[in-house]
Homo-oligomer: A and B are copies of this chain.
Amino acid sequence: MTSQAEDGPDTVAASRRSKITPEREREFFDAVLEQIRECGYDSVTMEGVAHTTRCSKSTLYRQWKTKPQFVAAALRANRKVRFAGIDTGSLAEDLRLAARAAGDWSDKDTRLLQALGHAVTADHELAQALREALVLPEIAELREMLARGVERGEVPADHPALEYVPAMMFGVLRVRPVLSGQYADADYLVRFVEAAVLPALGLTPDPGRRSRDD
């Protein structure tokens, strides 16, 4: 595997004497991701992106060779830390906060993942970019959260449910639209954590059920 497209061709704005500012680039990326969310990967057209950003197709093709490379670059630029700063000293509370945070981008992220779900099988670079943008960071953060809980002795290190928590959270998050037609909002996810994740981990949920009043 040759890693020829690592950092170079992604954010071209700084190099190559391009007149495209990082802010402008951000507009391109936002536009293409939004178009993907709305129409699906295959239906996204470079012309459409060019039109909504009031640039020309040539401009896009000058920066990125092909459509998948363009999309991959947009995904990589979209990487964010989701659960940053969540460290309350209590695993249950951390999970609640993470659920609430996840619910806030549930809509956008889920639609993106859904729309790219299959396009990914064709282009490996795209697949990797998607994983790195929308999957791996959150998983890693969840695992750290759990590890801290274990370290504090809240959950035994060999608790069998531990390894399934990321899949549970992620699964419910992504699958809810399919089941009920609506995206998993923060309240739903917090209730899910309360009702299923914490009990599975042997953590006692709030007895009085005072889950959502900030």
Contact = CB atoms under 8 A, between A and B. Distances in A.
Interface in A109-150: 113-115, 117-119, 121-122, 131, 135, 139
A196 interface: yes
Given A195-B161, A195-B200, A200-B200, A179 B135 contact: yes
A127 B192 CA distance: 26
A168 B196 contact: yes
Q: Lowest 7 A-B CB distances belong to which pairs?
A: A171-B171, A160-B195, A42-B42, A171-B175, A40-B118, A200-B200, A196-B200
Interface residues of A, number: 50
Contacts of A135: 178-179
Interface in A39-74: 39-43
